[in-house]
Structure 1
């Protein structure tokens, strides 16, 4: 996958059971929310990634989050992860592994130096985390001297402030609790989940249309 084809918004799922994740993914199929991140600190994460990938195939992009080591990166890719995210900078060997295996790499960064180093080392996208703490202006401020960069806003991002981050220069966003009510996922309330998805889709479409004008 080319970076330009990577979905604008990734749904982050952390700490849920396989059945709960399956219910969310099933309702994401065919919507504007085309990517889901299953974090490695979720019990049974690798098996969940494998099963979701096997069942839904190319209908949704499945990735691994909170990848911290080379071993975890290997395991996630072997399980079928199409992209890897981390809250920290990736070692270059992880970035090289992703490139060799055709997997999108999204290391984390907090400072301009970390962002620039990751880009120079070959990262496809850099996850600015925690974006909510840094504020949307951070994205426009650092790109003034560094130029246009493939940045993803994660941490404190939700449907309401998504436009703010995109307008400031973020190209992508990862959203956890900012889309769904956690209890809706836990109790697998499908109608509530679908309502939340429709609200997020409306915002994403508006943003895309605004960018195309």
Structure 2
């Protein structure tokens, strides 16, 4: 299964990725469990510091069969390698780095589904040239749903995941504009992820 197929398959029923950022291992497992209970199949644990690796490993160990845990804020090949060692099944980056994309496509024989980050047509074109067929559009709230519609014409084969500022108020708009999925932060005491999942109409679950 190629990278694009992996993400499209996992987002087919509920087009939402849960983002766990800066949490302890215990809190990360708790938030991941709540996401899984809502049918979210992809959980991203960010690697902003060393604590992210412990949280990643804990969530990987707790994941039910058929649910996938990946690493976010991956900005180098070394981070991608370490994420794999801690059990990550996919990677997501805030920006576009050619070396990291290449490492994900062929990490010494270990292919890892990977979403590089983009915000401009030039970056989308570069990602496409590097072999990516699915990217993270960030920050989505500043790009607006109209950006996704505009990108579909010159890049009809590229899939986009809307990330950054996604809420129950705009998630459906991003999907209607052509996004394959949305990524939403899951934090203790916040109902943002739950509200996004509840707000999506059944017609949004079309990819």
d(CA) in 1 for partners of 2:158, 2:193: 28
The equivalent residue for 2:155 is: 146
Q: Moved runs in structure 1, 4+ residues, more than 4 A?
A: none
2:25 corresponds in structure 1 to 18
Aligned: 1:208 with 2:201: no
Among candidates 118, 133, 145, match of residue 109 of structure 1: 118
TM-score after normalising by structure 1 = 0.82
- For 1:66 and 1:16, the matched residues in 2 are separated by 14
Deviations 1:45-103 (A, max 9, x none): 11221222123243521111100011001000111111111111032432323594232
Verify: 1:62 aligned to 2:58, yes or no. Answer: no
| 2:73 equivalent to 1:77 | no
Matches of 2:49 and 2:16 in 1, distance apart?
A: 20
Change (3 A) 1:142 1:174: same
Partner of 2:9: 5
Taking only aligned residues, the RMSD between alpha carbons, in angstroms, comes to: 2.3
> TM-score, normalization: structure 2?
0.84
Mark the CA change 1:100 to 1:123 in structure 2 (over 3 Å): closer, same or farther: farther
Whole-Å separation in 2 of the counterparts to 1:198 and 1:99: 38
Alpha carbons of structure 1 residues 59 and 200: separation in structure 2 relative to 1, 3 Å: farther
Larger RCO of the pair (alpha carbons < 8 Å, separation 6+): 2
Q: Pick the structure with greater CA Rg.
A: 1
Unaligned runs of 5+ in 1: 186-192
